[in-house]
């Protein structure tokens, strides 16, 4: 990738806290200008702004990306909205696809759908219910997120057949496939589109965050995409 030099103050702030959301205390328009510049776009980088979650599709793969997350703490985190049930939560996921003309291949978000690798020591903080309802309908092959650092891992879901309502989990079987002996590489080439999904909490930092140098392993997924 081409080098894009930045002043040292921006590089320092990027490492500590990316100020991409205009409502965030660390917002710096120069960072957004960099990520949306023609040279960066030419390198294949797609910047998802808060009001612009979207579905990308070509003949090989479909990807839905959404950076928003519920704010349970009345904080100043980036791209936040009032948790479900709220008009803000509904609006944040209004653009989420039900399906494409094939199952959604990759569902890429910042935070987790509720109930999927979102457990932390504070019970009142959880994944998004509004997102969960959309995922139940879309049934992507691969759902990737982070945010919940202590719930890093990989989970395979077998969906239940039949009609599924918004209050229905729709899950027949759930299996956590992460283990201490795994090398971070998982083979899901036999995944059944529309019947099974893999959820990956790919949070890089551990629950201790900057208090330790330890980091979670990268997660590598082998996935067979239906054409």
Residue in 164, 107, 174, 173 with CA at minimum distance from that of residue 137: 164
> Does residue 200 register a pLDDT over 90?
yes
- Residue 154 is predicted with a pLDDT of 93
Q: Residue 87: pLDDT band by 50, 70, 90 thresholds?
A: very high
- Residue 21 is predicted with a pLDDT of 62
> Is the full-model pTM beyond 0.75?
yes
| 3 state SS for 159-190 | ECCCCCCCCCCCEEEEEECCCCCCCCEEEECC
- Residue 157 is predicted with a pLDDT of 92
Phi-psi region of 103 (alpha: psi -120 to 50; beta: other; left: phi over 0): beta
Which residues are CB-contacts of 187 (< 8 A; sequence separation ≥ 6)? Answer: 222
Q: In percent, how much of the chain has pLDDT > 90?
A: 16
Quick: pLDDT tens for 131-189: 999 999 899 999 999 877 788 889 999 998 865 555 567 888 889 888 655 677 888 99
> Does residue 3 register a pLDDT over 90?
no
> Does residue 60 register a pLDDT over 90?
no
Distance, CA of 172 to CA of 169 (rounded, Å): 9
Indicate the helix (H) or strand (E) that contains 137. Answer: helix 129-138
Between 87 and 49, name the one with better pLDDT.
Answer: 87
Which residues are CB-contacts of 208 (< 8 A; sequence separation ≥ 6)? Answer: 214
Long-range contacts made by residues 175-180, C-beta under 8 angstroms, separation at least 24? 178/152, 178/153, 178/154
- Residue 198 is predicted with a pLDDT of 94
> Does residue 35 register a pLDDT over 90?
no
131 and 97 Cβ atoms separated by less than 8 Å: no
- Residue 126 is predicted with a pLDDT of 82
DSSP letters spanning 1-40? -------HHHHHHHHH----STTSTT--HHHHHHHTSHHH
Tell the burial category of 58 from Cβ atoms under 10 Å away from its Cβ (0-12, 13-18, 19+): exposed
- Mean predicted confidence (pLDDT) in 214-224: 83
Across the chain, mean pLDDT equals: 77
DSSP letters spanning 67-136? --EE-SS----TTEEPPSSSHHHHHHTTT--S--SS---EEEESSPBTTSS---S-TT---BHHHHHHHH
Q: In percent, how much of the chain has pLDDT > 70?
A: 71
Confirm or reject CATH 3.40.50.1110 for domain 49-223, answering yes or no: no
198 and 141 Cβ atoms separated by less than 8 Å: yes
Residue in 9, 166, 109 with CA at minimum distance from that of residue 17: 9
- Residue 46 is predicted with a pLDDT of 73
Between 146 and 24, name the one with better pLDDT.
Answer: 146
Q: Any idea where the domains of the chain sit in the sequence?
A: 1-47, 49-223
> Does residue 211 register a pLDDT over 70?
no
Upstream peptide bond of 85 is cis (omega within 30 degrees of 0): yes
- Mean predicted confidence (pLDDT) in 193-205: 87
């Amino acid at each position: 990738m081409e080098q894009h030099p930045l002043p040292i103050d921006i590089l320092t702030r990027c490492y500590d806290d990316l100020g991409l959301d205009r409502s965030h205390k660390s917002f710096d328009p120069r960072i957004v200008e960099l990520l949306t510049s023609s040279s960066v776009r030419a390198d294949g980088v797609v910047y998802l702004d808060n009001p612009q979650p979207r579905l990308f599709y070509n003949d090989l793969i479909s990807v839905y990306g959404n950076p928003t997350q519920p704010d349970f703490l009345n904080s100043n985190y980036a791209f936040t909205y009032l948790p479900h049930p709220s008009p803000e939560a509904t609006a944040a996921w209004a653009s989420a696809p039900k399906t494409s003309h094939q199952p959604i291949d990759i569902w890429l978000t910042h935070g987790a759908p509720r109930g999927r690798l979102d457990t932390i020591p504070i019970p009142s903080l959880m994944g998004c219910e509004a997102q969960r309802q959309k995922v139940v309908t879309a049934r992507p092959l691969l759902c990737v997120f982070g945010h919940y650092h202590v719930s890093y891992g990989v989970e395979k879901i077998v969906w239940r057949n039949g009609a599924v309502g918004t209050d229905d989990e729709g899950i027949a079987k759930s299996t956590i496939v992460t283990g201490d002996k795994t090398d971070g590489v998982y083979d899901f080439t036999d995944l059944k589109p529309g019947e099974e999904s893999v959820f990956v909490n790919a949070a890089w930092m551990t629950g201790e965050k900057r208090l330790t140098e330890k980091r979670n392993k990268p997660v590598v997924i082998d996935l067979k995409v239906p054409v």
